Amino acid sequence: MIETIEIEVTAVAVTGAEPPAAEPPTATRAEVALGLSHFKEANERVRAALARADEVAVTDAHAQRYLGCALPAGKRLAIGGTPGNDLGCYLDGGAIEVFGDGQDQVGNTMNAGSITIHGRCGDAAGYALRGGTILVRDECGWRAGIHMKEYERKRPALVIGGDAGAFLGEYMAGGVIVLGGEPGPYVGSGMHGGVIYLRRPLAADAVTSGLVQAPATEEDVPGLAELIGAYNEAFAGEGPPLPAPDGGWWCLRPASARPYGSLYAH
């Protein structure tokens, strides 16, 4: 059952006003066409639809920002068109699938859940990604995976099928990046945790100081297999699959969790 939901945009919240109580979902699936609506109106409509259905198809997106902002577990957005910046920011367990390209900061400060992009995305994808998985079929812009971090049982992953811009994994403090294409310069600058998997080794002088490059080992295979499997399943038939986890991957890891430990004179 597909139900199109339209609601009026509410005005700015009153001081101390409580959020409207969410009605239990009454439909399994809903559809919202965004057209040229402003992001505020667009997100209001998407949230209203999500309050009534666990799965919402967003169509005709025209760069509206923040779609899927803080989407909780159990909710799913399928987006047609081009979602704007900060897609899935603070994502909190929900699933987002984009049938098109993403713009900048896909999954900004994402906590849990998944984002799948059948296309490319812009800069700073997975900024401060802390949990969950982002799959990007094609290439991505600069600074993907910047500030990615892991803690306790959270271990985020970012898989990019194509090339990446400069500063991939900058300041990375945890998690996994898998890159199917070629990285730009300054890979892992300031990296002090986590791992970046590459198809081919970097030239020795292209390895950022403080990082150690080595062939992926047997210990890398299970984790890598899971992510490669997820990528190949999500994008089956859309392009070349990523090669097998034991097919000659390389990895970059930081030599120290304290890259700037000796920077200061006390």
Partner 1 sequence: MMDCVLPRYKVLRDHDQCTDCGLCARTCANGVYRRPREGGPIAINSKRCVNCQRCVVFCPAEALAVTAWPQVGTGSANWTLEAMQDIARQAQTGGVLLSSMGNPKPYHVYWDHLLLNASQVTNPSIDPLREPMETRVFLGSRPEIPKVNERERRVVEPLPPQLKLDVPLMFSAMSFGSISLNAQKALALAARELGTFFNVGEGGMHRDLEPFAHCAFAQVASGRFGVDAHYLNTAAAIEIKIGQGAKPGIGGHLPGEKISGEVSRTRMIPEGSDAISPAPHHDIYSIEDLRQLVFSIKEATGYRKPVAVKIAAVHNAAAIASGMARTGADIIVVDGFRGGTGAAPKRIRDAVGIPVELALAAIDQRLRDEGIRSTVSLVASGSIRNAADVVRAIALGADACSIGSAALIAMGCHQCGDCSSGRCNWGIATQRPALTERLDPEEAAERVVNLVRGWTLELQEMMGGMGINAVDSLRGNRLMLRGVGLNEKELEILGVKYAGE
Interface ranges with partner 1 (CB under 8 A): 11-17, 19, 39-40, 43, 65-66, 69-70, 72, 85-86, 89-90, 92, 104-105, 108-109, 111, 123-124, 127-128, 130, 143, 146-147, 149-152, 154, 170-171, 173-174, 190, 192-193, 257-266
The CB density around residue 41, as the number of other CB atoms within 10 Å, is 14
Q: Which is nearer to partner 1, 9 or 214 (CB)?
A: 9
Which two tokens mark 128?
């401060």
Residue 138 and residue 155 in contact, taking contact as beta carbons nearer than 8 Å: no
Radius of gyration of the chain (CA): 20
CB of 242 to partner 1, least distance (A): 27
Q: How far is CA 16 from the centre of its chain?
A: 33
Rounded CA-CA distance 33/58 in Å is: 6
Smallest distance from partner 1 to CB 95, Å: 16
Closest distance between partner 1 and the C-beta of residue 218, in Å?
24
Between residues 79 and 234, which has the closer beta carbon with respect to partner 1?
79
CB 41 within 8 A of CB 35: no
Q: Which amino acid is at 123?
A: D
CB of 67 to partner 1, least distance (A): 10
Q: Please, what is the minimum distance in Å from the beta carbon of residue 49 to partner 1? A: 15
Cα–Cα distance, 178 to 241 (Å, whole number): 13
- Residues 198, 235: Cα–Cα separation, whole Å: 19
Other residues' Cβ atoms within 10 Å of the Cβ of residue 239: 13
- 205 or 266, CB closer to partner 1? 266
Nearer to partner 1 (CB atom), residue 30 or residue 89: 89
From the CB of 203, what's the least distance to partner 1, in Å? 26
- Whether 95 contacts 113, CB under 8 Å: yes
In whole angstroms, what is the distance from residue 163 CA to residue 35 CA?
31
- Cβ closer to partner 1: 71 or 242? 71
180 vs 194 by CB, closer to partner 1: 194
